[in-house]
Amino acid sequence: MEEAGTILIADDSRASLILLQRGLGRLGYDIVTAESGQEALQLAEENNVDIFVLDVQMPGMSGFDTARALHATTQYRETPILFLTGEEDIQQRIKGFEAGGVDYIVKPFHTVEVAKRVGIHLELFRRRRESERYANEMETLADERAKQLAHADRLAMLGTLAGGVAHEINNPLSFISGNVQTMVNLWPLMNQLIGKELKREPDDPDDLDFIREEMPEILDGIQGGIQRIAKIVNGLKTYVREKGVDREAYQIAQVFDSALTVCQGALNQVEVITEFEKPLPDLMGDSQKIEQVLINLCVNAAHAMEGREDQKIWVRAHKDGDAIVVSVEDNGEGIPAENLLSIWDPFFTTKEVGKGTGLGLSICQNIIREHGGDIEASNVEGNGAKFTFKLPLSQ
Ligand SMILES: Nc1ncnc2c1ncn2[C@@H]1O[C@H](COP(=O)(O)OP(=O)(O)OP(=O)(O)O)[C@@H](O)[C@H]1O
Ligand SMILES: [Mg+2]
């Protein structure tokens, strides 16, 4: 049987109250009884009622009035109500349904029949609520999915846009950079010449002296800025979908070795523990790009452990069906739950201004997807963050 429930029975006849209470109580229902409509309303407020059985003819408030009052509340707006009546009048029955009743039982009743009908209406009501809840859940899911898709769309568009912008900026950037370099090269000579000039006409050399002192620093600042722009532009360029990724067979362990050589500097405080299954089959793809992913992940890990004692990175690889799974785990601070999605967004960074561009992970995701794989981030209980990517062996 379905879970029992609470039935509120209102009848001014004590005899029929007792009869129903016994008959329904035996079936495991919780029974609340009232001898008038008013009492029924009050008890309904104090209890959590699943279904009402109301006598129609009660002194004071009739069963119909009680039903209307119940359905006017938020709590019982849709709760099923069964009417009990002594009259077998069709008009009366219609009035009962109009007052919001779901069923109509004529006295003298048989408790077994009442019990069956109560059971059926409770079940119907529960199923309706269940399907409403289900429909709501579905709607929420559909909403979320639509939002995710819109987000993915925006990111894809942003990617294309960023790739285009990077390409456009790259040209002027290279001639700015070239010209500044020329200025840097010319400055010592210019400075010398100005010095000679001044010796001839030393009118008011204060401002000029200042400029001559500051100039190397100014040029240095410009060059720093240019380098930073170049780094960002370079990162953005990987968003341009390059047709035909370089494809070659490579061993993930070897690629990791050369990644380690590149980021040795960043990892000098870190113990790197590798656990590679042996032997592992060759992967196909652009090993340089995969190396870039491993470098990004390791450098991120090192940053997350900065200033801590006992800094460790575990790099693991194993075969899983038709794919190779690679993970990079650290014992740093982990990733706050609210950032787990945004870390993949281009320009999302928690590092101080000037330190991170926020492009690293979004580039990693791009590269792994280009290779038909997937990458995800999680936190390891009692440890730091763990990034796992999966590369298919054959495409
Ligand atoms: N191993 C990690 N542990 C904790 N947080 C991490 C880890 N890796 C990445 N993050 C978080 O994700 C953010 C985004 O990383 P991402 O590599 O995209 O950019 P970044 O490291 O900030 O800058 P960039 O890599 O461009 O220099 C980081 O700023 C950091 O908050
Ligand atoms: Mg990074």
Query: With bands split at pLDDT 50, 70 and 90, how would you rate the model's confidence at 267?
Result: very high
Ligand approaching nearest to the C-alpha of 364: 1
Please state whether the peptide bond connecting residue 279 to the residue before it is cis, i.e. omega within 30 degrees of 0: yes
User: How far is ligand 1, taken at its centre, from the CA of residue 214, in Å?
Assistant: 36
Look up residue 166 and give its amino acid: A
DSSP helix, strand, coil percent of the chain (3-state; round to 5): 55, 15, 30
Q: State pLDDT tens for residues 338-385.
A: 999 999 988 899 988 767 778 889 889 988 998 999 999 999 998 899
Q: How confident is the model at residue 1 (pLDDT cuts 50, 70, 90)?
A: very low
pLDDT band at 247 (very low <50, low <70, confident <90, very high): confident
Ligand 2 centre to CA of 390 (Å) is 19
Domain 248-392 is found in CATH 3.30.565.10: yes
CA of 7 to the centre of ligand 2 (A): 62
3-state SS string for 82-151:
EEEECCCCHHHHHHHHHCCCCEEEECCCCHHHHHHHHHHHHHHHHHHHHHHHHHHHHHHHHHHHHHHHHH
Instruction: Please give the average per-residue pLDDT across 259-273, as a whole number.
Output: 90
State which ligand 1 atom lies nearest to the alpha carbon of 357.
26
Pocket of ligand 1 (CB under 6 A): 296, 300-301, 304, 330, 332-335, 343, 348-351, 356-362, 384-385
Kindly give the number of the ligand 1 atom that is closest to the alpha carbon of 359. 26
Structure confidence by residue, pLDDT tens digits, 133-144: 999 999 988 888
Instruction: Encode pLDDT of 275-321 as tens digits.
Output: 999 999 999 998 988 998 999 999 999 999 999 999 999 999 999 99
- For residues 160-175, one letter each, b for 16 or more C-beta atoms within 10 angstroms of the residue's C-beta and e for the rest, the string is eebbeebeebeeeeee
> What percent of the chain has a predicted confidence (pLDDT) above 70?
93
Joined tokens for residue 195: 């010095």
Q: Where are the domains of the chain?
A: 6-109, 152-237, 248-392
Please count the residues of the chain: 395
Indicate whether 242 pLDDT > 70: no
145-183: pLDDT as tens digits? 888 777 767 766 777 777 778 878 888 888 899 999 999
Q: Is the pLDDT of residue 395 over 60?
A: no
Mean pLDDT of 68-73: 96
What residue type is assigned to position 261 of the chain? T
Domain range 6-109, CATH class: alpha beta
Return the pLDDT at 288: 85
With 60 as the cut, is the pLDDT of residue 254 above it?
yes
Residue 58 burial (10 A CB sphere; 0-12, 13-18, 19+): buried
The confidence score (pLDDT) of residue 149 equals 77
Task: Calculate how far, in angstroms, residue 117's C-alpha sits from the geometric centre of ligand 1.
Answer: 63
The residue nearest atom 11 of ligand 1, judged by CA position, is: 343
For ligand 1, atom 12, which residue shows the shortest CA distance?
Answer: 343
Q: What is the pLDDT, as a whole number, of residue 204? A: 60
